[in-house]
Structure 1
Amino acid sequence: MDAEQAPEPDVTEWLNTAALTLADLRGRVVVLEAFQMLCPGCVSHALPQAQRVADTFPAADVAVVGLHTVFEHHDAMTPTALRAFVHEYRLRFPIGIDRHADGDLSPVTFRRYGMQGTPTTVLIDRDGRVRSRSFGAVGDLALGAHIARIAAE
């Protein structure tokens, strides 16, 4: 995959952090984990994995950022419900809520990244370029190795 500049997430609210931009994270590898709280694969695999990545890699080298990107069940997945979900699942990394443009059921950042669904894991290098985009479950060893390779560059 040719490394394109990572689009800036268009977020309406941040949890676990003050407002955040990719420019703030330059110099670190960014693991962007797009999820929905009612997505079984997100809850059972992607979010626990994202927390493990955040707990394993030094924060000075790797930043994990969640993106709650709702494209279905809009009435159930509100910011209030997400705050409770983040608390109950003890997610400690920054999480942004993807913005919806008027009348569009697919959120802005979801479309900017060409995502197909959730979970989607995007790896962004220290220079802000997208290095990989994976839809569905990614194995821990494969993800860790890929992050380590990018971090070592």
Structure 2
Amino acid sequence: MPTAQIGQPAPPLPDVEWVQGKPVNFDELSGNVVLLEIFQVNCPGCFIDSLPQAIGLHQRYHTQGLTVLGIATAFEDFDKNTLENLRRLLQKGEAIGATRQLLAEYGQLVDGCLPYRIPFPVAMDQLQQPQGEASDSEINDFLDHRFAGFQQQPAIVRQQTRERVRQYLHALAFRAATFELFGLQGTPSQLLVDKRGILRASKFGHYPGLEADVQALLRE
């Protein structure tokens, strides 16, 4: 599966399962700026900073043309980052695992639950069990989007890195379609798509300039 590129049309989302809100895709949102918030249920950082930021942006700008969508993915802790736990989160606000532990330490839970609800549509990423060894093209795609300057490394380093990536992909219990389609490095990740459907930003972790970038795209 080719990886999405900044400055190119955002590829359609894979066949994700919409748990909250109606199924939607980028081609149906022409004329809107789209923020795609990608998180894991068992990801404390997603709930400390990124999801509250996305909720705030939804509240401030949804009447001005911003559409916020959430995708819960899983590239680790497959026993916790599940569809069932996502449903509990969305329906009851229940936090689990490391998320519950850290939010409790920060005093951000009420009876083990979030004191707020996620107000925008949320889907569970499409997870598939790997079939055989990763192909050369999959390994190359992984390296191109996660290892800056890989081709400038000495041959022995490139060879060793390729082998580690091959082993990593082989060991995955599941492959997350949206996570891989956009070449993400982890969670939280934020994607911005402009009014013409062009992928304009893909960020991993804390994104302090997100609101300014949203405002700029809304003005275009």
Same fold (TM over 0.5): yes
Query: How far apart, in 1, do the equivalents of 2:193 and 2:14 lie?
Result: 16
CA contact (8 A) 1:33 1:121 kept: yes
Aligned mates of 2:6, 2:39 — CA distance in 1: 24
SS in 2 for 1:42: helix
When normalised by structure 2's length, the TM-score is 0.65
11 and 2 in structure 1: CA distance in 2 versus 1, 3 angstrom threshold: closer
SS of corresponding position for 1:72: coil
Identity among equivalent pairs (%): 32
Query: Is residue 7 of structure 2 the alignment partner of residue 3 of structure 1?
Result: yes
Unaligned 5+ residue runs, structure 1?
none
Structure 1 runs of 4+ aligned residues shifted over 3 Å read none
8 Å Cα contact 2:129-2:175 kept in structure 1: no
CA distance in 2, matches of 1:21, 1:92: 18
Please tell me whether the aligned partners of residues 29 and 125 of structure 1 are also in contact (alpha carbons under 8 angstroms).
yes
Contact 1:9 1:98 in 2 (8 A): no
- Whole-angstrom CA distance in 1 between matches of 2:214 and 2:178: 22
The code of the aligned residue for 2:178 comes to T
TM-score calculated relative to the size of structure 1 = 0.91
Q: Which residue matches 1:30?
A: 34
Cα-Cα RMSD: 1.6
Correspondence for 1:119:
188
Alignment pair present for 1:70 and 2:97: no
Partner SS for 2:52? helix
Alpha-carbon distance between aligned partners in 2 of 1:11 and 1:66, rounded to the nearest angstrom: 14
Question: Following TM superposition, by how much is the alpha carbon of 1:129 offset from its aligned partner in structure 2, in angstroms?
Answer: 0.7
Query: Which amino acid in the other structure matches residue 181 of structure 2?
Result: R
Comparing 121-130 with 81-90, which one deviates more in the overlay?
81-90
8 A contact 2:10–2:197 mirrored in 1:
yes
Counterparts of 2:55 and 2:128 in 1: how far apart (Å)? 29
Look up the equivalent residue of 2:28 and give its one-letter code: D
Query: Secondary structure of the residue that 1:133 maps to in structure 2?
Result: strand
C-alpha deviation, 1:83, in angstroms: 1.2
Aligned to 2:22: 18
Q: Which residue of 2 aligns with 1:85?
A: 89
Q: Post-superposition shift, 1:2?
A: 4.8
Aligned residues: 151
Code of the aligned partner of 1:133: S
> Structure 1 residues 2 and 81 mapped into 2: Cα distance closer, same or farther (>3 Å)?
closer
**d(CA) in 2 for partners of 1:34 and 1:148?**
20
- Distance in 1, Cα, partners of 2:23 & 2:59: 21
Q: Work out the CA distance in 2 between the residues paired with 1:60 and 1:20.
A: 19
The structure carrying a bigger strand percent of its residues is 1
Q: Whose Rg is larger?
A: 2
Q: 1: distance between equivalents of 2:15 and 2:185?
A: 19
SS at match of 1:81: helix
Distance in structure 1 (CA, Å) of the matches to 2:33 and 2:26: 10
Work out the CA distance in 2 between the residues paired with 1:35 and 1:91. Answer: 12
